[in-house]
């Protein structure tokens, strides 16, 4: 029995080892040594189907294709053969020895790993002209060219770079993408939109080619000397005809990935000449027109006008500042509003820029706006030109006269500005209410207002019930209603006394009535009980301080004496304030 058990255990171990030995998962590369301009194919191959495949990190490569998955089944002499492959196409990023790490996959609940693979990357290699080699064919028939409009421009002169992909009639291109984009250091750059770009036919190296404009950029150099333009690189999927034929006899295409680069370009940027450079030159380069306009030349003081300095033309419109407007110091001028209307085309920037100043004269008179000059470097004549705006006069027809000794002082905007004299008509021309309305309106149904209108009546029902109950209780409280009525009368009479200040008899009659009604409300006594001793007795019982009671009685005495003695308005105001204060104190102390 023991012998049988040992034999069974031995067979299980052997069979398990055999099965384990049958599983293969390995990495295979197309070559172990290649140039940096070549492509590497790596296949992760297994002989048993698995799940959860995880490739290595191709950090030193650019993945230009894949993963491509293929499965193969075959039967030979009754033996089944299975192969599953994950393929990647890689472009090396650097030279030297590069190790591709392990890939993993799960097969029958076990994790299998490939062995690391090391490849040697050399500098760029030249391939032999092999007509049967698809990569060689792609090299000979695919080119990326950067065309530069001018190699030695002036500082701030527009330079256009057009990237064209040339493809011969012997191959085809299915897709392409940028893998290295130029940074354009030391340039102001603007990409040009390529809407409606079409493939065109041309001659290249004496052969018929097709080309497509990939990218257009306008550059304005910001430094002089030799400046480098970084290369643009593309990863292109190329379809090359092979010697194989399909079922109908047509030639089959083989697909290869190709990296093409336009190469780095250099410009020699010339400085602008120093000879003849105006003092007010601010860096404008191109061909421009300049003018100064005002919205009006006649107005009244405290009204406003707009003065506009405007430059139009072709050139580096975004890269310089307009000259400053100078005005007499008697005119108030605000910081200008800068506006641009510029479009960038293949020929550079075109359009205009403007500064609009708001000017408010404060005094009557005539005020000159001095001539403003704008200088620029003309690329056609390679010389400096200056445009003058001419003098303008602002005539202020009505307003106060300026009493300062000098009225024609000139001040640059932002320096020594005069204080604005404000009045209600300062900006009467500005529309304060825009009355804007939404273009699209939301439907009332299912809106917040819709549900609020449905729910609010339901929520108001319990509130109405509470209000009705409180109102019934208030009506049933006869004593409380009488007190509230007396308080109301006291407040009314006290307010009438205030209105009668300055009219002795009417004031003291109203004040006395207010005091009596207050005592009616608080002490529950009738008019027949209004003796001073009775008032003191009742207030002392209600724990009011004696000094406060004496003040109250003193006010009553003043009301009686006022009919027979003269009282000033100051005395009446004093008695009113004292009555209001005493009533407030009694109301706090009474129990």
- The answer to whether 261 and 233 have CB atoms below 8 angstroms apart is yes
Write out pLDDT tens, residues 552-575: 888 887 777 766 666 666 777 788
- Rounded to the nearest 5°, which phi and psi values hold at 32? -100, -10
The dihedral built from the CA positions of residue 525, 528, 533 and 535, taken in this order, carries a sign that is positive
Is the pLDDT at 382 greater than 60? The verdict is yes
For residue 578, the model assigns a pLDDT of 82
- The answer to whether 328 and 409 have CB atoms below 8 angstroms apart is yes
Question: Average pLDDT in the 368-395 region?
Answer: 93
For residue 78, the model assigns a pLDDT of 65
Match 């058990």 to its residue by tokens: 5
Match 């009596």 to its residue by tokens: 516
Please state, in angstroms and rounded to a whole number, the distance separating the CA atoms of residues 482 and 386.
93
In a 3-state reduction of DSSP, which class is residue 255? strand
Is the pLDDT at 164 greater than 90? The verdict is yes
- The answer to whether 10 and 99 have CB atoms below 8 angstroms apart is no
Please state, in angstroms and rounded to a whole number, the distance separating the CA atoms of residues 562 and 451.
65
Count of CB atoms within 10 A of residue 197's CB?
11
For residue 506, the model assigns a pLDDT of 79
Is the pLDDT at 96 greater than 50? The verdict is yes
Confidence grade of residue 35 (pLDDT, cut at 50, 70, 90): confident
- The answer to whether 373 and 389 have CB atoms below 8 angstroms apart is yes
In a 3-state reduction of DSSP, which class is residue 26? strand
Question: Average pLDDT in the 355-378 region?
Answer: 92
Is the pLDDT at 491 greater than 70? The verdict is no
- The residue with greater pLDDT, 507 or 303, is 303
Please state, in angstroms and rounded to a whole number, the distance separating the CA atoms of residues 389 and 372.
5
Write out pLDDT tens, residues 247-288: 666 667 788 888 888 888 899 999 999 999 999 999 999 999
Tokens of 25: 């998962």
Q: Of 293, 294, 302, nearest to 397 (Cα)?
A: 302
502: left (phi over 0), alpha (psi -120 to 50) or beta: left
What DSSP state is assigned to residue 401?
B
Please state, in angstroms and rounded to a whole number, the distance separating the CA atoms of residues 300 and 399.
6
- Rounded to the nearest 5°, which phi and psi values hold at 512? -65, -40
- Domains belonging to the chain, first-starting first, are 25-122 (2.60.40.10), 134-269 (2.60.40), 286-398 (2.60.40.740), 478-589 (1.20.120)
- The residue with greater pLDDT, 547 or 132, is 547
Is the pLDDT at 218 greater than 90? The verdict is yes
Is the pLDDT at 217 greater than 90? The verdict is yes
Is the pLDDT at 426 greater than 90? The verdict is no
Q: Of 254, 235, 233, 232, nearest to 243 (Cα)?
A: 254
- The answer to whether 264 and 232 have CB atoms below 8 angstroms apart is no
Give me the helix-helix angle, 478-499 and 448-476, nearest 10°. Answer: 100
- Rounded to the nearest 5°, which phi and psi values hold at 35? -80, 165
Please report, for residues 89, 178, 260, 301, 536, the alpha-carbon distance to residue 240 in angstroms, rounded to integers and kept in the order given.
Answer: 17, 21, 16, 81, 121
Tokens of 384: 């400096």
Q: What torsion, rounded to 10 degrees, do the Cα atoms 209, 213, 218, 219 define?
A: -60
- The answer to whether 194 and 247 have CB atoms below 8 angstroms apart is no
Please state, in angstroms and rounded to a whole number, the distance separating the CA atoms of residues 533 and 539.
10
Q: What b/e sequence results for 97-134 when a residue is b if at least 16 CB atoms lie within 10 Å of its CB, and e otherwise?
A: ebebebbbbebeeeebebeebebebeeeeeeeeeeeeb
Point out the least confidently predicted range of 114-123, 175-184, 372-381.
175-184
Write out pLDDT tens, residues 225-249: 999 998 898 888 888 887 676 666 6
Please state, in angstroms and rounded to a whole number, the distance separating the CA atoms of residues 197 and 163.
13
Is the pLDDT at 28 greater than 50? The verdict is yes
Output helix, strand, coil percentages for the chain, rounded to the nearest 5.
Answer: 25, 40, 35
Write out pLDDT tens, residues 166-214: 999 888 888 888 887 888 989 999 999 888 778 899 998 888 999 999 9
Question: Average pLDDT in the 418-423 region?
Answer: 47
Q: Of 263, 264, 259, nearest to 91 (Cα)?
A: 259
In a 3-state reduction of DSSP, which class is residue 356? strand
Cα of first residue to Cα of last residue in the chain, in angstroms, is: 113
Please report, for residues 73, 79, 124, the alpha-carbon distance to residue 76 in angstroms, rounded to integers and kept in the order given.
Answer: 10, 5, 44
Write out pLDDT tens, residues 455-482: 888 778 888 888 888 877 777 766 666 5
- The residue with greater pLDDT, 519 or 344, is 344
What DSSP state is assigned to residue 317?
G
Question: Average pLDDT in the 367-376 region?
Answer: 92
In a 3-state reduction of DSSP, which class is residue 96? strand
């Amino acid at each position: 029995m023991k012998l049988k058990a040992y034999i069974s255990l031995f067979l299980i171990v052997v069979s398990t080892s055999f099965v384990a030995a049958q599983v293969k998962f390995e990495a295979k590369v197309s070559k172990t040594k290649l140039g940096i301009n070549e492509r590497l194919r790596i296949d992760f191959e297994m002989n048993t189907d698995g799940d959860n495949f995880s490739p290595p990190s191709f950090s030193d490569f650019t993945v230009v294709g894949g993963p491509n998955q293929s499965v193969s089944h075959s039967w030979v002499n009754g033996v089944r053969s299975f192969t599953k492959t994950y393929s990647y196409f890689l472009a090396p990023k650097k030279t030297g020895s590069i190790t591709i790490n392990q890939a993993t996959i799960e097969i029958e609940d076990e994790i299998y790993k490939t062995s690391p693979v090391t490849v040697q990357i050399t500098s760029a290699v030249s391939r032999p002209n092999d007509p049967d080699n698809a990569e060689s064919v792609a090299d000979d028939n695919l080119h990326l060219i950067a065309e530069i409009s001018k190699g030695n421009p002036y500082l701030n002169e527009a330079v256009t770079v057009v990237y064209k992909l040339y493809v011969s009639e012997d191959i085809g291109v299915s897709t392409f993408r940028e893998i290295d984009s130029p940074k354009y250091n030391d340039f102001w750059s603007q990409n040009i939109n390529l809407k409606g770009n079409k493939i065109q036919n041309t001659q290249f190296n004496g052969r018929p080619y097709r080309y497509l404009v990939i990218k257009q950029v306008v550059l304005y150099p910001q430094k002089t000397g030799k400046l480098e333009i970084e290369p643009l690189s593309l990863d292109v999927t190329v379809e090359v005809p092979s010697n194989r034929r399909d079922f109908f006899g047509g030639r089959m295409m083989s697909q290869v990935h190709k990296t093409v680069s336009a190469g780095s370009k250099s410009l020699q940027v010339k400085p602008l000449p120093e000879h003849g450079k105006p003092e007010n030159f601010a860096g404008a380069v191109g061909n421009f027109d300049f003018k100064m306009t005002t919205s009006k030349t006649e107005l009244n003081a405290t009204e406003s006008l707009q003065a506009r300095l405007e430059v139009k033309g072709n050139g580096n419109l975004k890269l310089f500042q307009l000259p400053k407007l100078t005005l007499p110091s008697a005119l108030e001028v605000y910081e200008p509003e800068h506006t641009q209307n510029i479009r960038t085309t293949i020929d550079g920037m075109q359009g205009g820029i403007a500064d609009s100043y708001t000017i408010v004269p404060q005094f009557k008179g005539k005020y000159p706006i001095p001539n403003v000059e704008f200088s620029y470097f003309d690329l056609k004549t390679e010389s400096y030109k200056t445009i003058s705006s001419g003098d303008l006069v602002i005539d202020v027809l009505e307003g106060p006269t300026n009493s300062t000794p000098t009225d024609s002082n000139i001040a640059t905007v932002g320096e020594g500005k005069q204080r604005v004299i404000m009045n209600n008509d300062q900006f009467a021309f500005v529309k304060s209410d825009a009355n804007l309305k939404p273009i699209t309106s939301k439907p009332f149904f299912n809106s917040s207002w819709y549900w609020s209108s449905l729910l609010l009546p339901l929520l108001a029902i319990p509130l109405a019930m509470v209000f009705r109950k409180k109102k019934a209780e208030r009506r049933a409280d006869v004593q409380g209603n009488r007190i509230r009525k007396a308080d109301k009368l006291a407040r009314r009479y006290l307010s009438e006394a205030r209105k009668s200040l300055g009219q002795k008899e009417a004031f003291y009659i109203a004040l006395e009535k207010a005091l009596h009604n207050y005592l009616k409300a608080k002490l529950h006594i009738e008019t027949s009980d209004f003796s001073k001793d009775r008032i003191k007795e009742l207030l002392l019982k209600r724990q009011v301080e004696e000094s406060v009671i004496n003040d109250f009685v003193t006010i009553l005495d003043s009301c009686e004496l006022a009919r027979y003695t003269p009282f000033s308005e100051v005395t009446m105001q004093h008695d009113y304030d004292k009555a209001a204060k005493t009533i407030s104190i009694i109301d706090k102390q009474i129990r």
